A and B are shown apart, each in its own frame.
Chain A
Amino acid sequence: MRSSASPPLKWEKLGKIFDPAQFRLPNGCEQFAQAPQALAFDRFTRIYFSSRERDPRNGKYLSHVCFVDFSEEFRRVIRVNDRSVIELGKLGCFDEHGIFPMSVLRHGDKIYGYTCGWSRRTSVSVETSVGIAASDDDGVTFQKVGDGPILTSSLHEPFLVGDGFVLLEGNQFHMWYIFGTDWRRPTNGASPERTYKIGHAVSRDGFAWQKEEGRQIISDRLGPEESQALPTVARIGDRYHMIFCYRESTDFRLNKQRGYRLGHAWSENLEEWVRDDAGLGLDVSVSGWDSDMQCYPNLFQRDGRTYLLYNGNEFGRHGFGIAILK
């Protein structure tokens, strides 16, 4: 397994391709197009993302799933959604205050959406869990399977289960997701900040999941306080590659040195992963939309090519971009 590292992947950055401010989105969403997730159709690529409205009751954000359809070369927008893709949760439900992100998977004649639902707490800002929804109208709208989550906190994953990315390999469903390991106040009186790591679960049907229960599958580069988020996995050549984002757990919002970067690991069996950030071959730009931060990656393949969608500065406040594997 521990064979030598591959030569780095080589990417061509195509730049930012979507700015939410240029479009009229439902639910009063104006800024943020976060965690782009691609779904290939014959004549276009649909990219789901999460945008935000201000909750009129208290000024806090509510994240809504949106989508944009691009023509083949990602140069032209065909349309954006004109109504809600999936409703936020009912009062007291895990996804009451936002769905961000939603990972999509085509299976049979359905499209499944694995949602990360957000609900607010009082002692800490938020709790998350993973839900499932299905679409039978080609991904225009999704209906939830239930009011509750399908993957949530458990004995050794005490909180903040989220960011599920699902891959069907053979007849085994795999989910890579994140679970929280720590809430702590950086300084006395400061708001609590969270630390989370990437975990793995498997399923036969995509609904009932077996977690590895607290096993961090990607080693830390920044130490125990590294937060790892939004894994995405694809087979490239004879190996599986995982791209994710990682950051320090404190002072990461404005401090460029501590903010999100893209990380990388590879595997030959989907169980053991070798972290190899240098093998990613993609870093922040010297200037421009992804010069301070890179986050929320999504690997996808169509027409024999491999693409990487990701967000840049300010967690995707001003949109997302794309790179193509050379």
Chain B
Amino acid sequence: MFRWEKLGRVFNPRETTDRSWLHEFAQGPCTLLFDDFVRVYFSCRPPPDQSGQYCSYTAFIDLKRDNLFETAKLASQPILPLGGLGEFDEFGIYPTSVIRSGNDVLAFYGGWTRCESVPFNVAIGAAKSSDGGETFRKLGRGPILSYSADEPFVLSGPKVRRFGDRWYLFYIAGRKWKLVDNRPEPVYRIRMAWSRDGIVWTKAGKDLIECRLEEDEAQASPDVFFCDGRYHMFFCYRRSANFRGRDNGYRIGYAVSEDLWHWRRDDSKAGIDVSEDGWDSEMLSYPHVFDLDGETYMFYLGNQVGREGFGLARLEGEL
């Protein structure tokens, strides 16, 4: 079992008052390392509209490399505009995963649209930055990874990685919309695609992680990294119904693989759980693990899937 020492909340979006698009939520943290700071991309929301509907934007905060609890800079604008009328990302860009590619930074993100019979649909978009990840341009008006026969809706939560000469996207794909008290709730599973160039992707076409809680368990945020000859994945999972509170809400799970194709799930090793009280007492979700100056850290979301921000934990010992 891993042992994570919780270091506390790093960023609370509710403390920012001078950015109209940043009111609450700081979701899906993802890091990009610089010499003096760690840039953390996150997705946030302005207040809901008159009918209670949210939009989501991705922005970043730069944390000092020698003290991740000290802010060097908070983005003055979101990194991307929302899509145009009828486009897949018209109502949200959340979450975002970035990777360096030569002098550029590539971003993959979930683009949100609104539907009539279900609340939303999501497909994965891509964008490129040539200024070190401050601003991005979309590669196209449409998604780079979209629906297919066995991934019918809700392709979201992309995490881009490069292992050897191959690119990988770990993401989630919707399996069903389950009616819970007449409200459609999405069930999704962890999937994978690979690419030679980051543009043309081939889907693996299988669920990577078996279910543990129930047949309709939802799994998200597949955060994969390579260490000591094995691939490790931290992810989050929840029950299909009544998951907005402590009992059935998100927890962090763990799986390991030698080949990225076969994964052994063992949540008992995850080594991090909800606190007795405070900002992460009801749920933990959207883990992102990264190495920095000899330590291994995890950013993660707390209650209400990051409504009150994200926090940091440090691995004690080694993986």
Contact = CB atoms under 8 A, between A and B. Distances in A.
Interface of A: 89-94, 96-97, 119-124, 127, 129, 131-132, 144-150, 152-160, 180, 183-185, 192, 194, 207
Contact of B86 (A89, A152, A194, A207): A194
A134 to B, nearest CB: 12
Contacts of A183: 84-86
A74 B84 CA distance: 47
Given A146-B150, A148-B149, 7 more contacts: A90-B176, A119-B115, A123-B86, A129-B147, A146-B148, A156-B141, A159-B86
Contacts of A145: 149
Given A92-B153, A120-B116, A122-B115, A159 B88 contact: yes
Assign chain B's interface to a size class. Answer: 35 or more
A150 B148 contact: yes
A144 B150 CA distance: 11
A150 B152 CA distance: 10
A91 B142 contact: no
A156 B150 CA distance: 23
Given A147-B152, A149-B148, A124 B86 contact: yes
15 contacts: A91-B176, A91-B179, A92-B153, A119-B116, A121-B114, A122-B114, A123-B91, A146-B148, A147-B150, A153-B143, A154-B143, A155-B139, A156-B142, A183-B85, A185-B85
Contact of A148 (B114, B115, B141, B147): B147
Interface string B269-304: 000000000000000000000000000000000000
B106 interface: no
Contacts of A180: 86
Given A148-B151, A152-B146, A92 B117 contact: yes
Contacts of A146: 148-150, 152
B153 A121 contact: no
Given A91-B184, A155-B139, A124 B85 contact: yes
A152 B142 CA distance: 10
A184 to B, nearest CB: 7
Contacts of B143: 153-155
Contacts of A150: 148-149
Contacts of B84: 183
B142 A154 contact: yes
B263 interface: no
Contact of A155 (B121, B144, B184): B144
B139 to A, nearest CB: 6
B174 interface: yes
A119 B140 contact: no
A158 B117 CA distance: 21
Nearest to A156: B140
Given A91-B117, A154-B144, A148 B86 contact: no
Nearest to A124: B86
Nearest to B175: A147
The 6 closest A-B pairs by CB, nearest first: A146-B149, A155-B140, A148-B152, A183-B86, A158-B142, A120-B116
Nearest to B140: A155
Contacts of A90: 176-177
Contact of A149 (B86, B116, B147, B177): B147
Interface string B14-30: 00000000000000000
A190 B262 CA distance: 52
A153 B146 contact: yes
A89 B177 CA distance: 12
B113 interface: yes
Contacts, number: 124
B160 interface: no
Nearest to B151: A148
A184 B174 contact: no
Contacts of B177: 90-92
A119 B117 contact: yes
Contacts of B116: 97, 119-122
B66 interface: no
A97 B114 CA distance: 15
A149 B152 CA distance: 7
Contacts of A159: 86-88, 142
A155 B142 contact: yes
B217 interface: no
Contacts of A152: 146-148
Contacts of B118: 91-92
Contacts of A127: 86, 113
B112 to A, nearest CB: 11
Given A153-B88, A157-B142, A192-B85, A120 B148 contact: no
B134 interface: no
Contact of B153 (A120, A148, A160, A184): A148
A148 B139 CA distance: 24
Contact of A158 (B115, B140, B151, B153): B140
B153 A123 contact: no
B184 A123 contact: no
B146 A123 contact: no
Interface string B58-99: 000000000000000000000000011111101100000000
B237 to A, nearest CB: 21
Interface in B124-141: 126, 139-141
B256 interface: no
B148 A121 contact: no
Contacts of B114: 121-123
Contacts of A157: 142
B172 interface: no
A92 B86 contact: no
A184 B85 CA distance: 7
A215 B147 CA distance: 21
A150 B114 CA distance: 21
A96 B144 contact: no
Contacts of A91: 117-118, 176-177, 179, 184
